[in-house]
Amino acid sequence: MKPIVAANWKMNFTIDESLNLIDEIIKRSPSVEAEIIFFPNYISLQSVKQKLVDTAYMVGSQNVHHDESGAFTGEVSASMLSILDLDYVIIGHSERRQYFNESDDQVNQKIKRALDVNIKPVVCIGETIDERKSGKTTEVLNRQLNKAFEEIDVLSANKIIVAYEPVWAIGTGVSADENQVLEAHALIKQTLVSIFSENIPILYGGSVNASNAFELINLNNVDGFLIGGASLKSESFCQIIENVTVENN
């Protein structure tokens, strides 16, 4: 399986800026042995998808609403996203859980909406620093996983990606260390196998950069990265791509 390198651009970039960054990335890394996924903001999605149609680059949304349609001012449904022929959607990012009060139950509904229209969910889970300090990491990760995938058909397993993103590592410049990543990914893998009896790719996210990418990608059960800050510049993003693919060169 190719390593997965996903760029979560969060609330950054105009349409033109998104398209320019993609141009720069393609120029720097013209052919890559990784699956690259871009997650632009809603207004850039259509242009980015159009630009990358018929290429190997994938495009996804950073969010989707958990209902099919209705009076939800400012929200976007899965069927609306499906018109753009998107490949992926990020679900349950900790910023959504923290700042928009998204619950495990809503995460579960969002996954169902995405799968209904054939968009693959990238499901984010992760503990806060308080949860880690009080020894609750295992409990939190298991709860988030079990709830997220409640009543999800096991046949959907091959459409799902999970991202382990410890909340305390996101945007802080301090990534989880090797042992913390190894331990969390082993636990997540075990829980996913118990739910789906299948191997589901597990990404790591949280202060991934050009300096730590090589070490992290070579850890057991790390199938790629979900990258925020370091995906906003072509130089750092392409260095990460190089570092994750170097073993295949």
**Catalytic residue set:** 93, 165
Query: Do 10 and 18 form a contact (C-beta atoms < 8 A)?
Result: no
Q: How far is the CB of 155 from ligand PGA (least distance, A)?
A: 28
Q: How far apart are CA 115 and CA 51, in angstroms?
A: 24
Closer of 199 and 229 to ligand PGA (Cβ): 229
Residue 156: other Cβ atoms inside 10 A: 17
**Cα 137 to chain center, whole Å?**
20
Q: How far is the CB of 230 from ligand PGA (least distance, A)?
A: 6
Say whether residue 206 binds ligand PGA (CB under 6 A). Answer: yes
Q: How far apart are CA 35 and CA 7, in angstroms?
A: 11
Q: Which residue is associated with the tokens 């700042």?
A: 99
Query: CA dist 210 to 22, 65, 248, Å?
Result: 18, 33, 17
Task: Give me the amino acid identity at 68.
Answer: E
Stretch that binds ligand PGA, among 58-66, 142-150, 151-159, 224-232 (CB under 6 A): 224-232
Size of the site for ligand PGA (CB under 6 A): 13
DSSP strand pairing (58-61 vs 88-91): parallel
Say whether residue 171 binds ligand PGA (CB under 6 A). Answer: yes
Provide Rg for the chain, Cα atoms.
17
Stretch that binds ligand PGA, among 57-65, 66-74, 187-195, 204-212 (CB under 6 A): 204-212
Q: How far apart are CA 231 and CA 10, in angstroms?
A: 10
Closer of 170 and 200 to ligand PGA (Cβ): 170
Say whether residue 205 binds ligand PGA (CB under 6 A). Answer: yes
Q: How far is the CB of 6 from ligand PGA (least distance, A)?
A: 8
Within residues 110-169, the interface with ligand PGA by CB under 6 A covers: 165
Q: How far is the CB of 160 from ligand PGA (least distance, A)?
A: 17
Say whether residue 170 binds ligand PGA (CB under 6 A). Answer: yes
In the complex, the residues that contact ligand PGA under the rule CB under 6 A are 8, 165, 170-171, 205-208, 226-230
